Amino acid sequence: MGCLPTGVGWAALNKPSPSEPTKQIYLTARDQQLCQQLCCDCTYNDKTWFQPTRESAVAKTPPSPAMGDLLYRADLEVPEDLVQVIASSPDKPQTPDHPSFGLDSPTGLLLSSFAAPFYLYATFRGKFELWDEWLSKVPHSTYVQPTLDLGCGRGLVLLKVAECKRKIAVNDVSARVAPAYGIDIFSTSDQTGNSAAATYRNAAAMGLLGHTVLHQASFAEQLPFADGTFSLITASLSLHNTSQEGRRVAIREMARVCAVGGRLIVVDLWGSFNAYTSALRDANWTDVSVRWAGLKMMYGILPCQVLEATKPEP
């Protein structure tokens, strides 16, 4: 990927032998630019997608407009990919040995009082286990398409989805696996150390920079994405951080940018979901369920619920 000119959308690999078919991989301009920042040669490594060698890569004219551009609204400016911005910065952060996802709202922990142990368990273990469980039930074909995490924070869910995408790409180099997209306003009041740089460091530590796109934007406003873009949209303990009207906007926008047959998985504090289900049913979504998230996600005395929904045919 780093060996191809910026803007080339496809790379056709020469046949290793006359009996083997040619393999094709979709490569966005963003991925090629990112590879140039991360790699000094064309090899297979865990930080990027498969990269053809200079001798075997044959440039082919990309579709016009570029496939990546079709993900965004035509009437809005395409937002910066902060992964690319940080990767190309001369003072980009060093890659840590391990990711760190921080503490959910310090204020919430203080208010938990005697129930603080439940809060800490949910923050550092419970939510990890439950998201692993929920995401394991999503069909692999869903991960091939673009996915979106609203209020991604330091990347817990965003990068779990990106891991699923990487596994598919590693096991089938011919698969055209789209990146995992995340948006956040990066407020430290919602999560300790919440910043785009922190998310970048976690993605780098997990070898997932090549599978991750990061935007700074509010989910309580119109999203910059086109209708029907994403096969999976997630939100983990983020929607309650905005106003009631902001939550309704977020749900309506999630419904708009979700592809037909795509899934929503929303986890939030108990009591937030009447507005969520109402907004979805107003949009004619019928396959909507809400259930208790369980003891693993008890934030002090506050339980969580999980909403799962599938977008119907129009």
Kindly state whether residue 96 falls inside one of the protein's structural domains.
no
Kindly state whether residue 238 falls inside one of the protein's structural domains.
yes
Kindly state whether residue 93 falls inside one of the protein's structural domains.
no
For the chain, the residue count is: 314
DSSP secondary structure letter of residue 225: B
Q: At what angle do helices 156-171 and 127-136 cross, to 10 degrees?
A: 40
| pLDDT digits (tens), the chain, 314 positions | 333 222 222 232 232 333 433 333 334 444 444 444 444 333 333 333 333 332 222 222 233 334 456 799 988 889 999 999 999 999 999 999 999 887 666 665 555 665 677 778 788 788 999 999 999 999 999 999 999 999 999 999 999 999 999 999 999 988 899 999 999 998 876 666 789 999 999 999 999 999 999 999 999 999 999 999 999 999 999 998 888 899 999 999 999 999 999 999 999 999 889 989 999 999 999 999 999 999 998 887 789 999 999 999 98
Q: Which of 56, 71, 86 is the last residue of a domain?
A: 71
Which H or E run contains 179? none
Kindly state whether residue 88 falls inside one of the protein's structural domains.
no
Is the same domain home to 254 and 297? yes
Largest separation between any pair of C-alpha atoms in the chain: 70
Residue 74, burial from CB neighbour count under 10 angstroms (0-12, 13-18, 19+)? exposed
Is the same domain home to 55 and 184? no
Tokens at 258, concatenated: 């979700």
Structure confidence at residue 29 (pLDDT): 42
Is the same domain home to 61 and 123? no
Per-residue pLDDT tens for 258-299?
A: 999 999 999 999 988 998 999 999 999 999 999 999 999 888
Is the same domain home to 238 and 287? yes
Is the same domain home to 194 and 270? yes
* CA 258 vs CA 131, 233, 234: distances in Å: 20, 7, 11
213: helix, coil or strand?
A: strand
Is the same domain home to 280 and 193? yes
102: helix, coil or strand?
A: coil
126: left (phi over 0), alpha (psi -120 to 50) or beta: alpha
What is the distance between the alpha carbons of residues 11 and 39, in angstroms, rounded to a whole number?
18
What is the distance between the alpha carbons of residues 193 and 100, in angstroms, rounded to a whole number?
10
Q: Do residues 285 and 311 touch, judged by C-beta distance below 8 A?
A: yes
Q: Which of 25, 55, 71 is the last residue of a domain?
A: 71
Kindly state whether residue 32 falls inside one of the protein's structural domains.
yes
Structure confidence at residue 103 (pLDDT): 65
Structure confidence at residue 300 (pLDDT): 77
Q: Do residues 188 and 105 touch, judged by C-beta distance below 8 A?
A: no
Is the same domain home to 50 and 111? no
Residues 6+ apart with CB under 8 A from 134: 265, 306, 308
The domain in which residue 53 lies consists of 10-71
* CA 4 vs CA 21, 59, 177: distances in Å: 21, 7, 18
With residues binned 3-state (H G I as helix, E B as strand, rest as coil), the percentages for the chain, rounded to 5, are: 35, 20, 40
What is the distance between the alpha carbons of residues 186 and 188, in angstroms, rounded to a whole number?
6
- Where residue 180 sits, what CATH number does that domain have? 3.40.50.150
Kindly state whether residue 87 falls inside one of the protein's structural domains.
no
Kindly state whether residue 77 falls inside one of the protein's structural domains.
no
Is the same domain home to 167 and 299? yes
What is the distance between the alpha carbons of residues 191 and 184, in angstroms, rounded to a whole number?
11
Tokens at 275, concatenated: 């507005």
Is the same domain home to 121 and 51? no
Residue 78, burial from CB neighbour count under 10 angstroms (0-12, 13-18, 19+)? middle
Residues 6+ apart with CB under 8 A from 298: 115, 118, 119, 121, 122, 126, 304
Question: Which amino acid, 41?
Answer: D
Is the same domain home to 160 and 55? no
Is the same domain home to 203 and 58? no
Kindly state whether residue 110 falls inside one of the protein's structural domains.
yes
Q: Number of structural domains, the chain?
A: 2
Q: Which of 45, 71, 97 is the last residue of a domain?
A: 71
Omega before 65 within 30 of 0, i.e. cis: yes
pTM value is 0.77
Structure confidence at residue 101 (pLDDT): 84
Is the same domain home to 286 and 191? yes
Q: Do residues 197 and 164 touch, judged by C-beta distance below 8 A?
A: no
